[in-house]
Amino acid sequence: MNDALRFLLTESPEPQPLDSVEAWWRRHLELLSRFPAPADLALAGGFRADRLGYAFASGYHAAHRFLFPMLPADRPCALCATEPGGAHPSAIQTRLTDTGSGPRLTGAKTFVTLGTRAELLLVVATEGQDAQGRNRLRMVVVDAKRPGVRVNALPELPFVPEVPHAELMLEDVAVTPDAVLPGDGYARYLKPFRTVEDCHVHLALLGWLVQVARRSGWPDSAREELLALAVMLRGLAQADPSDATTHLALGGALDLTKRALVRCESLWAQVDAPTRERWERDRRLLDVAGKVRAKRLETARQRAAGGTAAGGE
């Protein structure tokens, strides 16, 4: 942790401009050997970013490093869950079948973050239903260049337009048996991912804000508050992402972060115009999946109170 904090406090706060997602990835790779802990990688990647979109990309990749440590660190990944009916377990129609010649994938994903840059696609697929009629999900690692894989770029979003998104088509894609990751695809991977992503993306946000604060002359009290929030979120990033107590603490941490952002509002007048204007455009990113977070927090509160939460995230 101290190495990451020293990095935030002593590295030059003047980021080199990034003009593409490829340039972001090269800079992110430079930090991998220096910061093997995903939380520290998110902080450092955020600090080195010249805008929120590329900070988010570093946090997103760091989340994959935490949840999928068995995958090669030098290959960008993308989680592929959302389908026409959504990303709820019951909505997954992409099928994993084995007719005797090995596993095969067929289906479609409608929204894959960093999909056009990913080399490894983490595909949530169903093997069929269990005795209660629930989808039996698995997580499958697919090379983006395998025959039958088609990745189509989607239009830019109105915020963080630098972060590409794509739709994914899988047409009878052959995969090796070891590409099917062990464990339940929902309980072990898909369900905890939102928690892991929230922790690491907000760490990247805080790393980026420390950089902005340092180069823009924000008061010491504002910088120190950002550092304190980073330490708190780093601790949560190490916690069990499936535990209700983690969700309770994370809910509090995200609320404290929002309050800190409100307190910093007047300080943005000191920031250079391009950075300030991009922040005004991109800050909507922080509200994405707000309903999912609220549901997760309410479920955690019910469990902590001894109640039975229906559905879950």
With both helix axes pointing from N to C terminus, report the angle between 220-237 and 2-10 in degrees, rounded to the nearest 10. Answer: 150
pLDDT at position 278: 98
Q: What's the average model confidence in pLDDT over 302-312?
A: 69
Question: Are 58 and 204 contacting, i.e. CB atoms less than 8 angstroms apart?
Answer: yes
Mean pLDDT of the chain, nearest integer: 95
Instruction: Classify domain 77-180 by CATH architecture.
Output: Beta Barrel (2.40)
Residue 123: strand, helix, or coil: strand
User: pLDDT (tens digit, 9 = 90+) per residue, 243-258?
Assistant: 999 999 999 999 999 9
User: pLDDT (tens digit, 9 = 90+) per residue, 90-133?
Assistant: 999 999 999 788 999 999 999 999 999 999 999 999 999 988 88
- Is it the case that residue 140 has pLDDT exceeding 50? yes
Nearest by Cα to 278 from 163, 133, 136, 146: 163
pTM of the prediction? 0.95
Q: What span, in angstroms and rounded, lies between the C-alpha atoms of 282 and 146?
A: 34
Q: What span, in angstroms and rounded, lies between the C-alpha atoms of 123 and 144?
A: 11
- Is it the case that residue 307 has pLDDT exceeding 80? no
Q: What span, in angstroms and rounded, lies between the C-alpha atoms of 238 and 236?
A: 5
pLDDT at position 154: 98
* Boundaries of every domain in the chain: 2-67+188-304, 77-180
pLDDT at position 2: 87
What does the buried/exposed string (b/e) look like for 47-75 if buried means 16 or more CB atoms within 10 Å of the residue's CB?
bbbbbbbbbbbbbbbbbbbbbbeeeebee
- Is it the case that residue 310 has pLDDT exceeding 50? no
pLDDT at position 131: 86
Q: What's the average model confidence in pLDDT over 185-189?
A: 96
- Is it the case that residue 311 has pLDDT exceeding 80? no
The strand pairing partners of 86, in sequence order, are 83
